[in-house]
Chain A
Amino acid sequence: MSIQFKTITELREMLDSKIISSEELVNETFRLNEQFKELNCFVTLNESKSREKAIGIDQQDEPLSILSGIPLAQKDLFCTEGLRTTCSSKILSNFIPPYTATAVSKLEDDGSITIGKTNMDEFAMGSSNETSFFGPVHNPWKKGYVPGGSSGGSAAAVAAGIVPAATGTDTGGSIRQPAAHCGITGMKPTYGRVSRWGMVAFASSLDQAGPIARSAEDCAILLNSMSGYDSKDTTCLDLPNQDLLETINNPIKGLKIGVVKEFDMSDLDLGVQQAFEQSKKLYESLGAEFVEVSLPNISASVPAYYSIAPAECSSNLSRFDGIKFGHRTEDPGNLEELYVNSRSEGFGDEVKRRILIGTYALSAGFYDAYYKKAQQVRRLIKNDFVSAFESIDVIMTPTTPSTAFAFGSKGAQNPVELYLEDLFTISSNLAGLPAISIPHGQLNNLPIGLQLIGNFLEEGRILNAAHIFQKNSDFHLTHPNMEDFK
């Protein structure tokens, strides 16, 4: 019996009714990955330890949790003890961490099996997975097309049905945009919901880990496990435990959905516009009400983001200096050469570009004009959301302006073109709000994503809205035929 394209819930039933063992599940997962290895989803596989853990779990009488014995893929920016963690960068291509990220260890403690580390844009900087040192990932829906990024490998592995779910991280849309391009469900939680301990930092004040899965329900299962207070991360929120599955089936009659006045839909692909209108109708038929809301400063979110995120990254990536770990240049003549050559050889172009932008934004004489100004704009954007949520429950936008694009077709001449991919996703990172992307249509056989943004800590509400949508539609059930990869 095939396990491809199965959800966590379905696999749980198969395991519980002994239709399949966890060991068989893991073997089948590696077989599927081998079959579709052209996708290039994984940087490192964890074969022997996965089998070992699966055999152990098969011997237990009772499953530890809903995730017990379920194979998962981890984005290759979560540190995993004894398992290479590269951030898809040459500079970390030989780095084996001595510890495991909190988000991953929570999932593993619940019995899930880390089958490997997924490909991504180098240090999560990119929207196409083309900046990876280990090569681009193909979109399972169309060979030669990007899966989105930066969590491209995780999204492609789930979309191709190799694993039921995976972890991702989202700094400006890195979970939601690839989820949209791959026709699956991905969620960025409230900033502070999931511990950042062990997650290699890109932009500390924006980074947040989250789930990528085949349904909102599976996202809730993963987030239930991944989230929670961690004293090792001072920005992690100390909240009472909340079971996100409890509210997921609540009726959404009377749900007030905001549509943002400032987002001009007429610029978007016709198919993206049509899908959006159809989803509005579906929600209306389920009893939701639509209200126009204004986010007056939203147009400044991309420039604000591209000042703050590179500034933080320029400092966060200083530790990759060839001294303690990672790539070191051969025979440097002196200390400066050691630094310059190790970093020049170790980082790719996009990472270098962002380090330079960030260094500039923080440098004496420019700090006030760029970094400080951007932080002020960020505060305004946050305030806009606070006002908007006074009259609505969730905000609905497209996830991306268009569908997945061909390798090399965007950003090669002008990087800003690619930065605009994040137009709809970036503001929730700046404001620290939870947001989810669900599939809601197709254009030329490529998926289109719908984004729901929730108020601070209201993951439950957007998961509920997404789940009810999925109960009343079948976009999330369609999957690529994988013809291109046979």
Chain B
Amino acid sequence: MTWETVIGIETHVQLSTKTKLFSRASTQFGESPNTNVNLIDCGLPGVLPSVNKEAFYKAITFGLAVGSQINQTSIFDRKNYFYPDLPKGYQITQMDLPIVLGGTMDIETENGIKTINITRAHLEEDAGKSIHDEYDGYTAIDLNRAGTPLLEIVSEPEISNAKEAVAYMKALHRLVTFLNVSDGNMSQGSLRCDANVSIRKLGDETLGTRTEIKNINSFKFVEKAINFEVKRQIKQLEKGETITQETRLYDSVKDETRPMRSKEFANDYRYFPEPDLLPVVISDKEMQEIKDSFPELPKEKEQRFQTELSISEYDAKIIASSKSMADFFEASIKETSNYSLLANWLIGEISAFLNKDSIEINESKLTPSSVAMLINRIDDQTISGKIGKSIFEEMYTSGISPDEIIESQGLKQISDDGAIEAIINTVIQENPTQLKAYLGGKEKLFGFFVGQVMKLTSGKANPQSVNELLKEKLK
């Protein structure tokens, strides 16, 4: 039997606002527990939400980028449930009237570009965190995250397999980071998704019963979780059993999905309009301001890198495809003039190291200044490209600046002709046999002499000078 997979994805994107959705507390990640918390965030008796418009602007920016209809009047609802990290006992969210309605996202698949329809995207506040493993017999609550603005983006069930799901998540990640809507930092939970998965016989019109896999926070796990779930559902149906509509969790250690306890999701959320907030209206003037300050998207960046900075089409495309790489590149060019050498390094050596560790450049120890300095030292011939590579490896692991490495390890290139000449003389004197053979017509031995000079200078001699001076000497 041939089965067809149908996937819809709900993505929670943490908006990169300075303060929370309904309070003026900071959204900074990684602070000590319960420090980015004010009266509103901990739901004290008598407090009321006040609106942070920045979150609305970011939501609208996303909506405009995917061609949505924007609801300029936002109404909020309360979703009621009890949980210790939900201080008010309800979450403020949008049920009936999402700020973003409709839209499309293009993803790259094996069969070319596929368009996925966006159902809606709405604003809501995040909950705090429950920490179960740090205090024996207790659960600790950290409310730093409580109230952080989220944009929940819901796709239509138009994704056909795990690979497409990953492509969708990657496209979404790229878009929200380019738009400055989110920092996209997945390890910090800035982008996480729930996948609704069902299967049906190929050609069937009606959808099969779906399961929802909750809270997946990496591209890799999206793929693995969906693949596991599809296999599980096929096995189930082929045994003649049915699929239970349920919420499941992906366990990355065991690489499997399993149902959550029914108590964890069998809630009647008793949605009703949030009476503490009047409708939030975004004026036409504000809409125009959002459009006027629209961030540059990858295609536009790619064009600009080629025309203004004379970067090759190939390099420009790769650098512009990642927000963190493009930002890094633009910060670095302020401190170096050899743009193409910089671009070469970024997409070559540097990307290789980053890929090996599966991190973005902004998560590494590299800084735009340190990389620009390295490019400058190669460009002004203080070091050779080859030495550059070993310096880079050190920079990458230690974060020490290239100048310090060059200084402390004495890696400065020898470009002084007198010094190089003296070494060449030594090499010639010590290798009379090879000299004789070379002068006798065995020109291949030129490389041998270069090698010997480099060996004696530990690779620091300027290769160009060595070539020129050797040719002169061996005439």
Task: Collect the chain A residues with CB atoms within 8 Å of residue B84's CB.
Answer: 321, 323, 335
**Is the Cβ of B90 less than 8 Å from the Cβ of A324?**
no
Which residue of the partner chain A has the closest CB to B83?
A335
- Taking the closest CB of chain A, its distance from the CB of B216, in whole angstroms, is 25
Query: Does A362 interact with chain B (Cβ within 8 Å)?
Result: yes
By the criterion of a CB under 8 Å from any partner CB, how many residues of chain B are at the interface?
Answer: 29
A319-B46 CB under 8 A given contacts A312-B275, A363-B268, A367-B272: no
**Is the Cβ of B43 less than 8 Å from the Cβ of A319?**
yes
Most buried by A among B42, B48, B78, B278: B48
Say which size band chain A's interface belongs to: 35 or more
Query: Does A94 interact with chain B (Cβ within 8 Å)?
Result: no
- 8 Å CB interface, B30-87 against A: 39, 42-51, 78, 80, 82, 84, 87
Binds B, one of A6-14, A131-139, A228-236: A228-236
Query: Does B354 interact with chain A (Cβ within 8 Å)?
Result: no
A364-B48 CB under 8 A given contacts A315-B89, A315-B90, A319-B87: no
**Is the Cβ of B268 less than 8 Å from the Cβ of A364?**
yes
- With A and B bound together, what is the CA distance between A459 and B78 in angstroms? 32
**Is the Cβ of A318 less than 8 Å from the Cβ of B44?**
no
Query: Does B170 interact with chain A (Cβ within 8 Å)?
Result: no
Query: Does A359 interact with chain B (Cβ within 8 Å)?
Result: yes
A234-B276 CB under 8 A given contacts A79-B46, A319-B45, A363-B270: yes
**Is the Cβ of A204 less than 8 Å from the Cβ of B276?**
yes
0/1 per residue, A364-388, Cβ < 8 Å to B? 1001000100000000000000000
**Is the Cβ of B272 less than 8 Å from the Cβ of A315?**
yes
- With A and B bound together, what is the CA distance between A196 and B278 in angstroms? 13
Task: Collect the chain B residues with CB atoms within 8 Å of residue A205's CB.
Answer: 275
Task: Collect the chain B residues with CB atoms within 8 Å of residue A92's CB.
Answer: 45
Q: Pick the contact of A196 from B48, B51, B78, B270 — CB < 8 Å? A: B48
0/1 per residue, A232-247, Cβ < 8 Å to B? 1111000000000000
- With A and B bound together, what is the CA distance between A199 and B44 in angstroms? 11
Query: Does B88 interact with chain A (Cβ within 8 Å)?
Result: yes
Task: Collect the chain B residues with CB atoms within 8 Å of residue A362's CB.
Answer: 80, 270-272
- With A and B bound together, what is the CA distance between A197 and B87 in angstroms? 17
- With A and B bound together, what is the CA distance between A94 and B89 in angstroms? 20
Query: Does A63 interact with chain B (Cβ within 8 Å)?
Result: no
Query: Does B435 interact with chain A (Cβ within 8 Å)?
Result: no
- Taking the closest CB of chain B, its distance from the CB of A481, in whole angstroms, is 38
Q: Pick the contact of A234 from B48, B80, B87, B268 — CB < 8 Å? A: B48
Query: Does B333 interact with chain A (Cβ within 8 Å)?
Result: no
* Interface residue SS majority, chain B: loop
**Is the Cβ of A324 less than 8 Å from the Cβ of B43?**
yes
Which residue of the partner chain A has the closest CB to B85?
A323
Task: Collect the chain B residues with CB atoms within 8 Å of residue A200's CB.
Answer: 45-46
Query: Does B141 interact with chain A (Cβ within 8 Å)?
Result: yes
Which residue of the partner chain A has the closest CB to B270?
A362
Which residue of the partner chain A has the closest CB to B45?
A200
Which residue of the partner chain B has the closest CB to A199?
B46
**Is the Cβ of A234 less than 8 Å from the Cβ of B45?**
no
A235-B270 CB under 8 A given contacts A318-B90, A319-B87, A339-B82: no
0/1 per residue, A310-335, Cβ < 8 Å to B? 01101100111101110000000001
Task: Collect the chain A residues with CB atoms within 8 Å of residue B275's CB.
Answer: 203-205, 235, 312
Binds B, one of A37-45, A96-104, A107-115: A96-104
Task: Collect the chain B residues with CB atoms within 8 Å of residue A311's CB.
Answer: 272
Q: Pick the contact of B47 from A95, A197, A231, A312 — CB < 8 Å? A: A197
- With A and B bound together, what is the CA distance between A203 and B39 in angstroms? 20
- With A and B bound together, what is the CA distance between A335 and B47 in angstroms? 25
Task: Collect the chain A residues with CB atoms within 8 Å of residue B454's CB.
Answer: none
**Is the Cβ of A324 less than 8 Å from the Cβ of B270?**
no
**Is the Cβ of A318 less than 8 Å from the Cβ of B278?**
no
Query: Does A175 interact with chain B (Cβ within 8 Å)?
Result: no
Task: Collect the chain A residues with CB atoms within 8 Å of residue B277's CB.
Answer: 234-235
Query: Does A301 interact with chain B (Cβ within 8 Å)?
Result: no
- With A and B bound together, what is the CA distance between A110 and B431 in angstroms? 100
- Taking the closest CB of chain A, its distance from the CB of B280, in whole angstroms, is 8
**Is the Cβ of B48 less than 8 Å from the Cβ of A319?**
no
Which residue of the partner chain B has the closest CB to A375?
B273
- With A and B bound together, what is the CA distance between A311 and B275 in angstroms? 11
A101-B45 CB under 8 A given contacts A235-B276, A318-B89, A362-B80: no
- With A and B bound together, what is the CA distance between A370 and B370 in angstroms? 66
- Taking the closest CB of chain A, its distance from the CB of B420, in whole angstroms, is 73
- With A and B bound together, what is the CA distance between A197 and B139 in angstroms? 31
**Is the Cβ of A318 less than 8 Å from the Cβ of B80?**
yes
Q: Pick the contact of A197 from B48, B51, B90 — CB < 8 Å? A: B48
Task: Collect the chain B residues with CB atoms within 8 Å of residue A231's CB.
Answer: 50
- Taking the closest CB of chain A, its distance from the CB of B129, in whole angstroms, is 14
Task: Collect the chain A residues with CB atoms within 8 Å of residue B82's CB.
Answer: 318, 321, 339
0/1 per residue, B276-299, Cβ < 8 Å to A? 111000000000000000000000
- Taking the closest CB of chain A, its distance from the CB of B33, in whole angstroms, is 14
Task: Collect the chain A residues with CB atoms within 8 Å of residue B45's CB.
Answer: 79, 85, 87, 92, 95, 97, 200-201, 319-320, 325
0/1 per residue, A1-44, Cβ < 8 Å to B? 00000000000000000000000000000000000000000000
Query: Does A198 interact with chain B (Cβ within 8 Å)?
Result: yes
Q: Pick the contact of B88 from A95, A319, A363 — CB < 8 Å? A: A319
Q: Which 4 A-B pairs have the closest CB atoms?
A: A318-B89, A204-B275, A362-B270, A205-B275
Give the interface of A toward B (CB within 8 A): 78-79, 85, 87, 92, 95, 97-99, 101, 196-201, 203-205, 231-235, 311-312, 314-315, 318-321, 323-325, 335, 339, 359, 362-364, 367, 371
Q: Would you list 28 pairs from A and B whose C-beta atoms are within 8 A, ordered by A residue?
A: A79-B45, A87-B45, A95-B45, A101-B46, A198-B47, A200-B46, A204-B275, A204-B276, A232-B50, A233-B48, A233-B50, A234-B50, A235-B277, A235-B278, A312-B275, A314-B80, A315-B89, A315-B270, A318-B80, A319-B87, A321-B82, A321-B84, A324-B42, A324-B43, A324-B87, A362-B272, A364-B268, A367-B272
Give the interface of B toward A (CB within 8 A): 39, 42-51, 78, 80, 82, 84, 87-90, 139, 141, 268, 270-272, 275-278
**Other A-B pairs, 12, CB within 8 Å; known A315-B80, A318-B82:** A78-B46, A79-B46, A85-B45, A87-B45, A92-B45, A101-B46, A199-B46, A231-B50, A235-B275, A235-B277, A318-B89, A319-B43
